[in-house]
Amino acid sequence: MKSHTYIIAKEGWLFLGVAIALWSLSLMFDFLPWVFLSIIVLVAVAYRNPERIPEEYDKLALISPIDGKIKEIKQSKDIDGNPCVVVRIQGAPYLASVVRAPFAFAYKELKRRDGLNLPLDTKQSSLLNTKMSLLCKGGSHTFWMEIKAGAWGKQIHFYQKEKLIRQAERIGFALGAEISLYLPISTRIRANEGEHIYGGESVFGYLQSEK
């Protein structure tokens, strides 16, 4: 979709328009214009939609789906009860919140759960916050991608109407959200907990080659 390539994500257009209008009025009445200019800058930062080039082009490479910090890497079970490697990436409102595809896939199932927007670090957020889960299949690899809204907004926007999605393609927007990837147990992770990675650019692991 062409609208996804604008420098500001479409989810921020209304907020940016209101901020610009208020700034214009503040200039007319000479009332704290620097405050409203600061609001424009904050909105532009929160809703920016940067172009990104993956660190490497490899169909088995896993590209970060969002800007953020790796909070957790562990072995666990996915939504279907299958053994997996979980990589949990926590975003922030000052980082780019555009959601991108970690590798080329077709999504087979989409689940939404409306809920609250508690801070991501609270234990209750996993049970109560708004979530969207995608069952993704690329070649012989199947995994779940879970997007959890945080305190900065409970809206999770999903752009795709076509089920075939390219690697690093923009697929949605979730301001300051957290994304958990439930990857095949054979996945090789090359990143570490605490590391900062960037959506559509950073490679954090590799899927096992298909036989």
Bridge partners (DSSP) listed for residue 63: 203
- For residue 1, the model assigns a pLDDT of 43
- For residue 154, the model assigns a pLDDT of 87
Domain that holds residue 103: 61-206
* Within a domain: 30: yes
With the CA atoms of 120, 143, 99 and 115 taken in that order, what torsion angle do they form, in degrees rounded to the nearest 10?
-40
- Same domain assignment for residues 153 and 96: yes
* Within a domain: 127: yes
- For residue 74, the model assigns a pLDDT of 98
Question: How buried is 143 (Cβ within 10 angstroms: 0-12 exposed, 13-18 middle, 19+ buried)?
Answer: buried
* Within a domain: 146: yes
* Total-model pTM: 0.92
Return the half-sphere exposure (C-beta side, CA atoms, 13 A cut-off) of residue 27: 7
Q: What's the CA gap between 206 and 64, in Å, rounded? A: 11
Matching residue, tokens 């957020």: 125
* Alpha-carbon separation of residue 61 from 64, 122, 156, 178 (angstroms): 10, 31, 25, 21
Using alpha carbons, select from 170, 122, 177, 132 the residue that is nearest to residue 153. 177
Number of domains into which the chain is organized: 2
Per-residue pLDDT of the chain (211 residues; tens, 9 = 90+): 444 478 999 999 999 999 999 999 999 999 999 999 999 999 999 999 999 999 999 999 999 999 999 999 999 999 889 999 999 999 999 999 999 999 999 988 999 999 999 999 998 999 999 999 999 999 899 999 999 999 998 899 998 777 789 999 999 999 999 999 999 999 999 999 999 999 999 999 999 987 6
